[in-house]
């Protein structure tokens, strides 16, 4: 699952632009992910310029890195 | 009062340069326009290096000194091995103050008759019989729905408007530049020079910029390609390292982050009742990452088509398609050439970049230009030379 470090986010929307299933919502000062729709592709984790997002499923992240 | 009005000719989602330009031109053409911006302030935060060319700005407005923090006429490139090459830009550029610029663009739209509302966040479209007929959202905590003949997605890199309508605007990982910028003071810079640092160690698949805003203040930022961001080192770490090396005593006034979609413009920019403009349509120049002027240009072209379509036959996909065609005719071909150039240069290794810097350093200063630079850069891939020649000489 994608975890959000909420107090770090700058609400820039970079992650929204790349999400293949359009399940991230960024407002003026709030960010939400619809976890039921998320396909855990981790692309949002890679693009975030300030490491707000992380993949909590360690098996998933290690296989993605491989 | 917008709250009492149920229906508009156009509703524009997003109050950046693209949205405000569309709103102004459509209102000047006699349409009723509502522009909705989610943030409390137009133009803030400034997620932008704020560089534009004089020629680009003049397509739309006489440059107003209030908008201009610095006038640029030289360019400096720093190669991975720290070779420095300088040359004349052969044209004028500016570093804007976008807080003032974006405000003024919105004021022009308002003066032309558009209604502008901030703190209005759109979270869905009203779609009937496969046609977009309005938007849904929240204004200061209150839900609302508004109808329009044309909804315009000017909602930036984070655009969802097109996707709600079924258009594919997703940016590929390799086509997203992940950016971070600090506006700093307490440093010494040449106020008339763009500085670019090119290296995988500073900004892999992108570049690092120092854009002056006076003698002691600058926007210092970088963007790295998503392709390299995948390796696990995030953009902010690159900038922290650079600042510690080059400007350790700078005072940081602002830090912003943001994505720059260096993608091909979306294939389909319109459908029944919907148009996409600016970053939402992926109009940014893929080589420079400059999106202010292309966004304004797409806003202008879209508004001209919108006015025509509403006076003649209605906002069907067919009647809105002239905008798509006009974009491809005026900006689109060059955009595709720039995209092809970007596809090659974003993979350059530090050795390639050192070789290019040496190549341009060997040219006498009065022979150096962006055309010369890109010609040397493209020499490894001769098929690119035609693209380079065309985009820099306007053939
Ligand atoms: C770090 C960085 C540096 C850059 N440097 C330069 C540069 O030097 N020169 C240059 O030309 N370009 C630069 N760019 C690109 C430039 O900033 C953009 O291309 C330009 O702002 C695009 O204009 P726009 O109007 O399309 O979108 P934006 O300016 O992004 O405006 C979109 C607006 O839509 C609003 N919005 C989004 N979603 C909603 C919603 N659901 N409801 C209501 N409102 C919404 C947003 O709040 C925003 O105000 C840079 C970008 C970044 C990230
Ligand atoms: S990319 Fe990072 S900073 Fe930007 S909105 Fe997404 S999580 Fe927040
Ligand atoms: S992991 Fe993939 S699908 Fe899930 S939110 Fe991130 S980008 Fe979207």
Instruction: Give dist(CA B107, CA B113) in Å, integer.
Output: 10
Segment B120-130, tens digit of pLDDT: 999 999 999 99
**Nearest-angstrom CA–CA distance, B51 and B69:** 10
pTM of the model: 0.96
B167 lines ligand 1 (CB under 6 A): no
Task: Tell me which ligand sits closest to the C-alpha of residue B42.
Answer: 1
Which of B70, B222, B291 is the best mutation target for the ligand 1 pocket, counting ligand atoms within 8 Å of the beta carbon and taking the most? B291
Nearest to B300 by CA among B110, B161, B109: B109
pLDDT band at B395; cut points 50, 70, 90: very low
Tell me how close the Cα of A30 comes to any Cα of chain B, in angstroms: 11
Q: Show contacts of B268-272: CB within 8 Å, 24+ apart.
A: B268/B167, B268/B324, B269/B298, B269/B302, B269/B323, B269/B324, B269/B327, B270/B317, B270/B320, B270/B321, B270/B323, B270/B324, B271/B132, B271/B165, B271/B166, B271/B167, B271/B317, B271/B320, B272/B130, B272/B131, B272/B132, B272/B315, B272/B316, B272/B317
**HEC readout, A9-57:** CCCCCHHHHHCCCCCEEECCCCEEECCCCCCCCCHHHHHCCCCCEEECC
Q: Is B170–A16 a contact, with Cβ atoms under 8 angstroms apart? A: no
Decide if pLDDT at B100 tops 80. Answer: yes
> SS3 of B89, please?
strand
- In the 3-class helix/strand/coil scheme, how is B93-114 assigned residue by residue? EEEECHHHHHHHHHHHHHHCCC
Give, for B308, the enclosing helix (H) or strand (E): helix B292-311
- Per-residue pLDDT at B390: 76
Q: Does B178 sit within 8 Å of A47, measured CB to CB?
A: yes
Q: How confident is the model at residue B275 (pLDDT cuts 50, 70, 90)?
A: very high
Domain map (residue ranges) of chain A:
2-65
Predicted confidence (pLDDT) at residue B213 exceeds the cutoff of 80: yes
Chain B residues with CB under 8 Å of A37 CB are none
pLDDT-based confidence at residue B383 (cuts at 50, 70, 90)? confident
**Residue B380's pLDDT band (boundaries 50, 70, 90)?**
confident
Distance between A44 CA and the closest CA of chain B, angstroms: 9
CATH number of this structure's domain A2-65, picked from the four choices 2.40.440.10, 3.30.70.20, 1.10.3720.10, 3.20.20.70: 3.30.70.20
Cβ of A12 and B258 within 8 Å? yes
Residue A46 contacts B, CB cutoff 8 Å: yes
Which residue in B120, B124, B138, B160 has the most chain A C-beta atoms within 10 A of its own C-beta, making it the best mutation to test that interface? B160
Tell me the per-residue pLDDT of B292-308, one tens digit each, with 9 for 90 and over: 999 999 999 999 999 99
Q: What whole-number distance in Å separates Cα of residue B68 and Cα of residue B213?
A: 9
State the Cα–Cα distance between residues B220 and B242, nearest whole angstrom: 10
Instruction: Find, among B29, B14, B16, the residue nearest to B301 by Cα.
Output: B29
The residue among B15, B91, B99 whose CA lies nearest residue B57 is B91
pLDDT (mean) for B178-186: 98
Taking the C-alpha atoms of residue B53 and residue B149, their distance in angstroms, rounded to an integer, is: 35
Q: What distance in angstroms lies between residue B383's CA and the mean position of ligand 1's atoms?
A: 33
Predicted confidence band of residue B182 (pLDDT cuts 50, 70, 90): very high
Q: Is A38 in the pocket of ligand 2 (CB under 6 A)?
A: no
- How do residues B59-82 score in pLDDT, each as one tens digit? 999 999 999 999 999 999 999 999
**Residue contact B158–A65, C-beta within 8 A:** no
Per-residue pLDDT, averaged over B121-143, amounts to 97
| Cα dihedral across residues B304, B310, B313, B314: positive or negative | positive
Q: Where does the pLDDT of residue B382 fall: very low under 50, low under 70, confident under 90, or very high at 90 and above?
A: confident
Instruction: Name the strand (E) or helix (H) holding B242.
Output: helix B235-246
Is 90 exceeded by the pLDDT of residue B115?
Answer: yes
Between B2 and B382, the more confident residue is B2
Q: What is the mean pLDDT of residues A54-65?
A: 66
pLDDT digits (tens, 9 = 90+) for A1-21: 999 998 999 999 999 999 999
* Domains of chain B, earliest start first: 2-46+99-172+263-332 (3.50.50.60), 69-94+173-261 (3.30.9.10), 343-393 (no CATH)
């Amino acid at each position: 699952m994608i975890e959000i470090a909420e107090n770090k986010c700058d609400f820039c929307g970079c992650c929204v632009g790349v999400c293949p299933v359009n399940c991230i919502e960024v407002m003026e000062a709030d960010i939400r992910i619809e976890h039921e729709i998320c396909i855990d592709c981790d692309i949002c984790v890679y693009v975030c310029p300030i490491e707000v997002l992380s993949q909590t499923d360690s098996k998933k992240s290690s296989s993605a890195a491989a | 009062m917008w709250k009492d009005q149920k229906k508009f000719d156009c509703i524009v989602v997003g109050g950046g340069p693209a949205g405000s330009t569309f709103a102004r031109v459509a209102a000047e053409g006699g349409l009723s326009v509502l522009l909705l911006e989610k943030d409390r302030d137009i133009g803030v935060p400034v997620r932008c290096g704020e560089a534009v060319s004089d020629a680009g700005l003049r397509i739309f407005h006489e440059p107003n000194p209030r908008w201009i923090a610095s006038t640029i006429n030289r360019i400096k490139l720093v190669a991975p091995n720290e070779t420095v090459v300088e040359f004349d830009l052969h044209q004028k550029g500016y570093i804007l103050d976008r807080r003032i610029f974006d405000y003024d663009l919105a004021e022009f739209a308002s003066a032309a008759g558009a209604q502008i509302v901030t703190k209005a966040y759109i979270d869905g479209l009203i779609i009937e019989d496969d046609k977009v007929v309005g938007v849904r959202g929240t204004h200061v905590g209150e839900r609302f729905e508004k109808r329009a003949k044309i909804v315009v997605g000017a909602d930036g890199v984070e655009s969802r408007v097109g996707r709600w309508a079924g258009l594919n605007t997703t940016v590929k990982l390799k086509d997203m530049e992940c950016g971070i910028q600090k506006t700093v003071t307490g440093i010494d810079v040449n106020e008339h020079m763009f500085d670019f640092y090119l290296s995988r160690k500073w900004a892999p698949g992108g570049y690092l910029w120092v854009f002056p805003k006076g003698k002691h203040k600058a926007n210092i930022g970088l963007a790295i390609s998503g392709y390299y961001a995948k390796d696990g080192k995030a953009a902010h770490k690159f900038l922290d390292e650079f600042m510690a090396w080059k400007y350790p005593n700078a005072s940081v006034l602002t830090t912003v982050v943001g994505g720059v979609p260096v993608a091909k413009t979306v294939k389909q920019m319109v459908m029944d009742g919907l148009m996409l403009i600016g970053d939402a349509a992926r109009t940014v120049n893929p080589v420079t990452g400059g999106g202010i002027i292309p966004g304004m240009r797409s806003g202008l072209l879209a508004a001209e088509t919108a006015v025509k379509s509403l006076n003649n036959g209605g906002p069907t996909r067919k009647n809105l398609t002239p905008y798509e065609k006009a974009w491809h005719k005026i900006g689109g071909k060059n955009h595709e050439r720039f995209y092809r150039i970007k596809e090659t240069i974003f993979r350059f290794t530090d050795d390639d970049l050192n070789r290019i810097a040496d190549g341009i350093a060997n040219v006498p200063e009065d022979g150096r230009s962006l055309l010369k630079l890109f010609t040397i850069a493209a020499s490894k891939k001769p098929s690119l030379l035609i693209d380079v020649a065309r985009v820099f000489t306007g053939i």
